[in-house]
Amino acid sequence: MQKTPFWLAGLMALPVAAEAKTEISWWHAMTGANAEVVTKIAGDFNASQADYELKPVFKGTYPETLNAGIAAFRAGQAPDIIQVFDVGTGVMMGAQGAIKPVAEVLQEGGYEFDKSQYLPGIVGYYSTPEGDMLSFPYNSSSPILYYNKDIFEKAGLDVENPPKTWAEVWAAARKIKESGAATCGYTSTWLTWIHTENFAAWNNVSWGTNENGLAGTPELKIDGPLFVKHFQELADLAKEGVFVYGGRTSEAKQNFTSGECGILTESSGGLGDIVKSGMNYGIGQLPYDETAEGAPQNTTPGGASLWVMGGKSDETYKGVAAFFNYLSQTEVQQYLHEQSGYLPVTMAAYEATKGSDFYQQNPGRETPILQMMGKQPTENSKGVRAPNLPQLRDIQNEEYEKMLAGQQDAATALKNAAERGNAAIREAAGG
Amino acid sequence: MRRTVFPHKLLPWLLLAPQLAITLIFFYWPAAQAFRQSVLREDAFGLKTTFVGLANFRKVLGDPNYLNSVRVTVVFSVLVAFCAMAIALFLAVQAEKIVRGKGFYRTLMIWPYAVAPAIAGMLWLFMFNPSFGTLAWPLRQMGIYWNPLLDGEQAMALVVAAATWKQISYNFLFFVAGLQAIPRSLLEAAAIDGASRRHAFWTITFPLLAPTTFFLLVVNTVYALFDTFGIIHAVTGGGPGKATETLVYKVYNDGFVNLIMGDSAAQSVILMIIVIALTAFQFRFIERRVHYG
C-alpha cells in the first residue's frame, strides 16, 4: 500500500470543505435589470449565512424555463426552485407529487407562515382554495395605463388627468388621431391578460365558472355581454386606425415608446423600458367600464412565482425555507420593489416603501398596488386559473386577431374563443 | 473497382460504431420515444399515464386546425422551394455572364447561407415589423396597408421571403456548379445554329441542369418543411390566427407551449411518415426521369 502524498491529501480535502454547504438550485427567467436583481439577492443570501449556497441559473423565457423544469423533472433532474409565470400556475398546481407546497416547506423549516403578513391579492392567487400557499410570489405585476404627456398636450387633452374609463380612453384616443398629435391613439400589450382576465376582475364580471377556475375546472364566460361590448369598441377603433395592435405579448410597448401611439395599457413590470426611452410619460390606473356595476373592483397579479420541486432531501428543503424567509424580509422586498417595478409581497415592505419618499419621487409606482388592494376580492377578481391557460390564451389571441383584421365581429370572436376554450379545458381536465 | 477486404469481422463494425451510435442515440431512440408517447395520454409531468391506443391520431387527424396546418405547410413549402430555386437559378445564370469580379459576386451571394434561421427571421422582422420596421414605414407611405401582425397573407409573404432569402445562397452555389458542368460545345453549337439565348437556355441548359434541380428540389422541400422553424418562431410565432402555423410549428406549440404531449407526439409520428414517404417517392419515381447527361 502506498502512502498518499501530503499535497494530494490536501487537494482531496478541498471539495469536502466546499460540500459542507448544501447547494440549492434556482431556475429563473429574468433578463436585463431583473436578472441583476436575482444575482444580487442570491449573493446577499449566500453571504448572510454559511449553510446553504443558492445558485441561480437563467433558463430562457418563461415558457422555456417551465419546459426545462418539466423535462428535467421527467429525467429525474429537477431543480430545487423554479420560477413559473402566472399562466403556468394551473399546470404546476395540477402536478401534485412533483411539487412541494411553499407553506409546508416554510413550516417544516421551522418558520412560521403567517398569511396575514402578505398582500392578500397576490398570495390568494398562488394558494389553494383552502388558503395554503403553494408557491412563493417572487415578481408580481399589474396592468396600468401609460400616456405620452407631449402627445396629450399637442392633442389638447388634460395632461395631468389621464382617462379613467374605457369610454374616456376611446374619446382621448380618437382626439389624438384626429388632431394629428400622433398617428395612433391607443395600443395595448397582452389583450388576453389585460383586456380579458383583468378586464373581468376590474369590472367584476365572471371570466369563468367555479370562481374563475380557482375552485375547480372553469367553464369560460368570456362571451358575456360586457366583453362583447368592450371588444366591439376595440374592433371599431382598430378599423378607424385609432387602436393599433402590436402583438400577442408585450410588443405594443414599442409602438408607445416610439411615439407612434399616445396611450398604452401594459404591465407595471414594463416600466423600466418606458423610463429608459426617456419619454415624457404619465401613469394612470387601468381604465374600467363605467357601465359595469361596482367597477373598479381590483386587478389580478401577473408575473411569476417560485415553486419548490418535490422529492428533495430535508436539508435542501431547510435551505429553501431559509431562502424564502430571507426573501420575505422587509429590506429585501423593498429593494425588489423599488429596483424592478414589481410589487412587494409583504405588507411590511409596502408600508416601509410608503414610509420612505419613494412614491413621492416616483409618482405612479403605487398605482398597481392600490389597484390590487383597493377592495376585498370577489369571486370574479381573485385571478383566473385553468389547467391549460397558455392554450386558452393562444385560442383567444387567434380569435382576437381575426376580429381585429375585420374577418369577424366581437360577438363571433368571443363566442368562438369561449367554445374552443371550453373544449380544450374539457380535454385537458379529462386527460 | 478494387474490393477492400478487412482481415476480420470486428473491424468494420468498429469503424462504423461512431456513426451507428449517433444514429441510434439521436434518431432511433427519440423516434421510438415519439412512437411510445403517441399512444399515451399523459400530463406534462408524466405523473399520470394512460394507454389510449390510436386515439391521439384520430383526434389530431379530425382536428380542423391540423388540416389548416397541412394547408399552410403545403402553401409555404411550395412557395419557398419554388421561389428559392427560381431566384437562385436566375442569379446563377446572371453571375455566369459576368466577366470581371465573378468571385466577388459569388461570395456575396453565398453569404446569407451562414446566417442562422432565427437571426434571418429577426433580420426580416426588423425590416418589416409594422411598429419598428425600417421598411414598413415607407410601405405605409406608399399607401399599402402593411400589417403582418393581423393580415395572414402578409405574414405568410414575410416568412416565405425570409425563408427563401436564406436558402437562395445554397441553391445558387449548386446551380453555379451545375452550370459550369454543362459542356460549352453544346451551347456553341446552338449559337451557330442560330438559337436565341432564351431558346438555348430552355432547350439545353435547363434540361442538363435537371440532376441539380432534382437534388435541390428534395433539399429545398425538406428545408421548407423542417428547417424553417426558427424563422417562423422569430417572425410570426405561427400567427396571426393560425395563418403561418406549419406542421412542425404545431408540434412545438402543442407539445411545448400547450403541454399536450400525446397529440404532439402523434403529429411527430405523422410527420416522420410523411418524410419517409416523400423521400422514397422522390427517389423512386422522379429520379428515374431525370436526365443525368
User: For residue A371, how far is the Cα from the chain centroid?
Assistant: 14
The pLDDT value recorded for residue B289 is 59
Residues of A in contact with B152 (CB under 8 A): 405
d(CA A425, CA A392): 8
Triad B113, B114, B119: Cα angle to 5°: 100
CA distance A14 to chain B (A): 37
The pLDDT value recorded for residue B4 is 66
The pLDDT value recorded for residue A318 is 94
Residues of A with CB under 8 A from a CB of B: 63, 67, 70, 73-74, 91, 94-98, 244-248, 251-252, 254-255, 258, 260, 388, 390-391, 394, 397-399, 401-402, 404-405, 427-428, 431
**Which range has the worst mean pLDDT, A158-172, A232-246, A298-312, B91-105?**
B91-105
pLDDT digits (tens, 9 = 90+) for A269-320: 888 788 888 999 999 999 999 999 888 999 988 889 999 999 899 999 999 9
Query: Does the beta-carbon distance from A258 to B259 stay under 8 Å?
Result: no
CA distance B128 to chain A (A): 13
Structural domains in chain A plus CATH codes: 20-141+301-361 (3.40.190.10), 143-299+386-430 (3.40.190.10)
d(CA A194, CA A218): 19
d(CA A76, CA A55): 19
Looking at every residue in chain B, the average pLDDT score rounds to: 87
Q: Per-residue pLDDT averaged across A67-71, rounded? A: 89
B263 found inside a domain: yes
The pLDDT value recorded for residue B17 is 93
The pLDDT value recorded for residue A232 is 97
* Sheet hosting strand A281-284, strand order edge to edge: A243-245, A184-188, A261-267, A143-148, A281-284
B204 found inside a domain: yes
Query: Does the beta-carbon distance from A245 to B259 stay under 8 Å?
Result: no
State pTM to two decimals: 0.82
For residue A224, pLDDT beyond 50: yes
Query: Does the beta-carbon distance from B43 to A74 stay under 8 Å?
Result: no
User: For residue B264, how far is the Cα from the chain centroid?
Assistant: 21
Nearest CA in chain A to B52: A431
- Strands A81-85 and A302-309, by their bridges, are antiparallel
- Collect all residues with Cβ–Cβ distance below 8 Å to B32 and sequence separation of at least 6: none
Question: In this predicted complex, what is the ipTM?
Answer: 0.75
Nearest to A245 among B41, B46, B150 (CB): B150
How many other C-beta atoms lie within 10 A of the C-beta of residue B27?
10
Nearest to A98 among B47, B130, B237 (CB): B47
pLDDT digits (tens, 9 = 90+) for B119-138: 888 889 889 887 778 888 88
B33 found inside a domain: no
Q: Per-residue pLDDT averaged across B22-42, rounded? A: 92
B19 found inside a domain: no
d(CA A380, CA A392): 18
Query: Does the beta-carbon distance from A394 to B253 stay under 8 Å?
Result: yes
CA distance B50 to chain A (A): 9
CA distance A404 to chain B (A): 7
Cell numbers standing for residue A192? 388576453
For residue B287, pLDDT beyond 90: no
Quote the DSSP letter at residue A87. G
Cis peptide before B138 (omega within 30 of 0): no
pLDDT digits (tens, 9 = 90+) for B156-180: 999 999 999 999 999 999 999 999 8
B22 found inside a domain: no
Tell me the CATH number at B269.
1.10.3720.10
The pLDDT value recorded for residue A14 is 46
Residues of B in contact with A97 (CB under 8 A): 45, 47
pLDDT digits (tens, 9 = 90+) for B232-258: 998 888 878 889 999 999 999 888 888
Contact between residue A34 and residue A304 where contact means Cβ atoms under 8 Å apart? no
For residue A176, pLDDT beyond 90: yes
pLDDT band at residue B284, thresholds of 50, 70 and 90? Answer: confident
Q: What percent of chain B has pLDDT over 90?
A: 39
CA torsion A41-A43-A49-A51 (nearest 10°) is 110
CA distance B131 to chain A (A): 6
B131 found inside a domain: yes
pLDDT band at residue A148, thresholds of 50, 70 and 90? Answer: very high
Contact between residue B134 and residue B47 where contact means Cβ atoms under 8 Å apart? no
Looking at every residue in chain A, the average pLDDT score rounds to: 89
pLDDT band at residue B101, thresholds of 50, 70 and 90? Answer: confident
Nearest to B258 among A70, A244, A391 (CB): A391
d(CA A100, CA A86): 17
Nearest to B45 among A98, A255, A431 (CB): A98
CA distance B102 to chain A (A): 43
Query: Does the beta-carbon distance from B260 to A91 stay under 8 Å?
Result: no
The pLDDT value recorded for residue B218 is 84
The pLDDT value recorded for residue A94 is 82
Distances (CA, A) of A243 to A2, A153, A177, A273: 81, 19, 9, 21
- Collect all residues with Cβ–Cβ distance below 8 Å to A88 and sequence separation of at least 6: A62, A63, A66, A389, A390
Contact between residue B291 and residue B69 where contact means Cβ atoms under 8 Å apart? no
Nearest CA in chain B to A423: B63
For residue B29, pLDDT beyond 50: yes
Domain residues for the domain of B103 are: 56-289
Three-class DSSP category at A357: coil
pLDDT band at residue A396, thresholds of 50, 70 and 90? Answer: very high
Residues of A in contact with B140 (CB under 8 A): none
B150 found inside a domain: yes
Q: Per the structure, how many domains does chain B have?
A: 1
pLDDT digits (tens, 9 = 90+) for B135-159: 888 887 887 888 888 888 999 999 9
Contact between residue A217 and residue A384 where contact means Cβ atoms under 8 Å apart? no
Q: What percent of chain B has pLDDT over 70?
A: 95
Q: Give rounded-to-5 percent helix, strand, coil for chain B.
A: 75, 0, 25
- Strands A143-148 and A261-267, by their bridges, are antiparallel
B200 found inside a domain: yes
Q: What percent of chain A has pLDDT over 70?
A: 95
